[in-house]
Amino acid sequence: MSDKLKIADEWFEKGRHDVEGARLLFERGHFTDTIAMLIQQALEKYLKGYLILHGWKLQKIHDLIPLLAEASKHNPALQKFEEDLRRISEYYFHARYPGRMAIDYPREEIKKSLDTASALIDVLVKGR
């Protein structure tokens, strides 16, 4: 196994933990702000793993849109996720930065974000 593949798989595994945790919390009716944060974290990790696999040097970035733009250079079909990832990226900023309180998101929005996460993860993992 190449070093890039090993590192990418480690990112995918950490992302899998986040998305599975988000799904479990959603099924149990947990706080949607916590679930939202886990969804964002999962997608950040999957995108970084995918990019590392394609030769990208790790950067300290949390905004999903630049990560998606970079990943789209390797698979233009990923662009279809941009609108949803804009919303999901905001989960991180609402939870992390002062003056942007995390909110209780509607469960329908969180369900849509979980569905987006599943679809994007499928494409990223198949593209390894």
**H runs (alpha helix) in the chain:** 3-27, 32-53, 64-72, 82-96, 107-126
pLDDT for 17 = 98
Nearest to 94 by CA among 61, 63, 55, 126: 63
For the structural domain made of 3-126, what CATH number should be given? 1.20.120.330
pLDDT for 104 = 85
pLDDT for 80 = 97
Q: How far is residue 17's CA from residue 2's CA, in Å, rounded to a whole number?
A: 23
Percentage of residues of the chain with pLDDT beyond 90: 81
What sign results for the dihedral spanned by CA atoms 54, 57, 62, 67? negative
Residues of the chain with pLDDT under 50: none
pLDDT for 96 = 66
Cβ atoms of 125 and 43 within 8 Å: the answer is no
Give this prediction's pTM.
0.93
- What ranges do the domains of the chain cover? 3-126
Q: How far is residue 88's CA from residue 77's CA, in Å, rounded to a whole number?
A: 18
pLDDT for 98 = 62
pLDDT in tens, 90-107: 988 776 666 666 678 999
pLDDT for 103 = 76
